[in-house]
Structure 1
């Protein structure tokens, strides 16, 4: 009876076929170029070797929680399911997911024995009778599952079937891991290359002798070389300063870990390019490689030069202006003072810097100065005037215009300008003294004016009394006798004389007598006599008789009077005009 022998031969043949299948699958997974083609071929080899109805791989998507049938092989006469098994919401199959997430194998000779109701429904729809499924883990994360379906009969899955499926699943998981690693490497290399080529800074890779292995586009553009030309050079060929290669050697030999320094690189046309170099060494493929990044610092150099020039101008300005620039810390200690202080107080800056501010202030101003100091630190800014003491002890007046100094919103002190106001202050004091003197003189003059006013008022009263006395005496002592003469037997000539005397006396005692006299001041005495008689209505003939002169002489005097009074060629009656002067 050779039955057992035949069985043993069949078992050995089957085992050899399985081992050959696994070896074939392993070889393909190791030499993989296209994983999709590789997996399709592996599934076909397994299906034909194991004589199953269907073999498949599902990929699980953690975000949406769905699974897709990504690879499938079916034997002849079995309906494929790949197209319909896409985007399956796995939350509908909790038992299935719990088993796979816990690394458990789903092994059922009859799917009706499966505990999960939804799972049985979807398996029945695929005409599955027996099922064997193992989970797939890639990089320790659940990736999906791989399984065998038997659709023709209820198949009992042997231990060797389970081992083959588990081993194949491990091989495929490793293949997926390799694929992900390759994709990550390609992505990393792509990012590196994109960064390398698009970087605005020049990047140089060189070997331990300094020969360039790779350079980016920025390096070519900044130096004016093509990439091929630079790859024929070494780093010291483009360094205008030997200190660059010396720093390279120090990092290469392990004396320092990395390098950072400024130097000038020489362009292809011979011009110099100021750059900042940062670099280090790293190992790749067993070779030590130098990485150097050169940043163009032309603008920075220009800014630094401009800043130095600006600082020089500011320093020259501060050191040459007559006003004093100063700064103190929050404790009132001098931290800076410009040289102009020496011409004011006689102290050099070194004699003041580091000393408390209060040492130089007049003691009577210290309380006010301390108060203003605290107010300025609090942001209350206004100019203040103080007295300070010079080196010789002389008092000087200064005007302080100050403000707080901040660093990161914290007050660190006060800075400002001191103006020597001594001369102005002295002038103000002298002016005040003069004003006070003038005020005293004005007060004295006011008192004198008051006295004069009293005196004038007294004189006016005396004058008034004198006029009243004269008027009274004329009326009492003269007019009575004139009346007696008028009542006596006088001839016409003497009556005329009496009338003239009465009229003239009235004018003398009249308040308008002075006005008339002033008008007559331009006339001769004879002309005054003639004018007076004309004013009283006397004719030229009457006047000539009274004055014992010819009428022709009176006409001559009349002409002179009109001329002197501005009446020539004017139709103005002389008698009326002379009478108007007396009113």
Structure 2
């Protein structure tokens, strides 16, 4: 009887320890700062923690379980097959991918995905970590745009400083602008005043295969569309937003 009693006590202790371990795991799973998820090979969500549900803008994990990964989550459905091929060939992979929130807005994410196999070696599910890096990528692009702006302004400044001849300076600056914007034609327009009645083009530079289209030195009427363009340039003239694009 004592032996049976001891076995029952050990079983109870083991079950309690296992329950505590599962509760601890579940707490860590739910409180993670990253989205954690489990999906099926067919493209259904089995589980996702609170952070992941919040990241995608859904009300509950159960709501997300009704989704189709390829069409409802990936911004480009073909990305899922590309990623699965990558994961299946090496059991795990890290990658960046664009996904959709519930409101259809897109976000850029960094993911780590691992294939989970059963005792026969068949993939039974995928376990992953997902992090929203949209703001980080946006900040990186803004920094690159600002560096491009500084580089392009330096090229313009060098063209201005290269000669004291005004005509040559204007010509050189327009050539630089053709290169910076990869455009076919560049004009020097005067005056850049949306309120003026007329304007003219003192100088024009074009690529060899694109002849000029505006008469030089001729007074032209200021049309509403042209005046609006000048207003946009005046608004952003000191911010670099036009140049940085």
TM-score normalised by the chain length of structure 1: 0.26
- Residue 231 of structure 2 corresponds to none
Q: 1:302 to 1:444 in 2, by over 3 A?
A: farther
2:62 alignment partner, one of 336, 350, 355:
350
CA contact (8 A) 1:386 1:399 kept: yes
Aligned equivalents of 1:437, 1:299: Cα separation in 2: 71
2:108 alignment partner, one of 379, 397, 405:
397
Structure 2 runs not aligned, ≥5 long: 166-245
Taking only aligned residues, the RMSD between alpha carbons, in angstroms, comes to 2.4
Aligned equivalents of 1:441, 1:302: Cα separation in 2: 73
Aligned equivalents of 1:380, 1:406: Cα separation in 2: 9
Deviation per residue, 1:208-267 (Å, 9 max, x gap): xxxxxxxxxxx4xx4xxxxxxxxxxxxxxxxxxxxxxxxxxxxxxxxxxxxxxxxxx7xx
- Residue 195 of structure 2 corresponds to none
- Residue 144 of structure 2 corresponds to 432
Deviation at 1:345, TM superposition (A): 1.8
Aligned equivalents of 1:451, 1:297: Cα separation in 2: 97
Aligned equivalents of 1:298, 1:360: Cα separation in 2: 48
Mapping 1:131-146, distance limit 5 Å:
none
Structure 2 residue 70 is matched with structure 1 residue 360: no
Deviation at 1:424, TM superposition (A): 0.8
Deviation at 1:380, TM superposition (A): 4.8
Deviation at 1:297, TM superposition (A): 4.1
Deviation at 1:323, TM superposition (A): 0.8
Aligned equivalents of 2:14, 2:23: Cα separation in 1: 14
2:28 alignment partner, one of 293, 306, 317:
317
Deviation at 1:419, TM superposition (A): 0.7
- Residue 410 of structure 1 corresponds to 122
Structure 2 residue 102 is matched with structure 1 residue 386: no
Structure 1 runs not aligned, ≥5 long: 1-201, 203-218, 223-264, 266-272, 276-295, 455-583
1:333 alignment partner, one of 41, 44, 49:
44
Aligned equivalents of 2:96, 2:20: Cα separation in 1: 34
CA contact (8 A) 2:37 2:129 kept: yes
CA contact (8 A) 2:53 2:64 kept: no
Deviation at 1:385, TM superposition (A): 0.9
Q: 1:342 to 1:451 in 2, by over 3 A?
A: farther
Deviation per residue, 1:320-344 (Å, 9 max, x gap): 2221111111112111111212321
Deviation per residue, 1:335-372 (Å, 9 max, x gap): 11112123212112111114321111113xx3233211
Q: 1:442 to 1:311 in 2, by over 3 A?
A: farther
Structure 2 residue 84 is matched with structure 1 residue 373: yes
CA contact (8 A) 2:73 2:100 kept: yes
Q: 1:394 to 1:312 in 2, by over 3 A?
A: same
Aligned equivalents of 2:155, 2:13: Cα separation in 1: 72
Deviation at 1:381, TM superposition (A): 2.6
Aligned equivalents of 2:85, 2:144: Cα separation in 1: 32
Deviation per residue, 1:72-118 (Å, 9 max, x gap): xxxxxxxxxxxxxxxxxxxxxxxxxxxxxxxxxxxxxxxxxxxxxxx
Deviation at 1:396, TM superposition (A): 1.0
CA contact (8 A) 1:335 1:354 kept: no
How many residues were matched structurally?
163
Aligned equivalents of 2:78, 2:48: Cα separation in 1: 23
1:446 alignment partner, one of 152, 158, 163:
158
Aligned equivalents of 1:379, 1:304: Cα separation in 2: 36
Higher relative contact order (CA 8 A, sep 6+): 2
Aligned equivalents of 1:373, 1:339: Cα separation in 2: 24
Mapping 1:181-196, distance limit 5 Å:
none
CA radius of gyration, larger in:
1
TM-score normalised by the chain length of structure 2: 0.59
CA contact (8 A) 1:388 1:397 kept: yes
Aligned equivalents of 1:387, 1:371: Cα separation in 2: 13
Q: 1:410 to 1:362 in 2, by over 3 A?
A: same
CA contact (8 A) 1:369 1:386 kept: no
Aligned equivalents of 2:156, 2:12: Cα separation in 1: 76
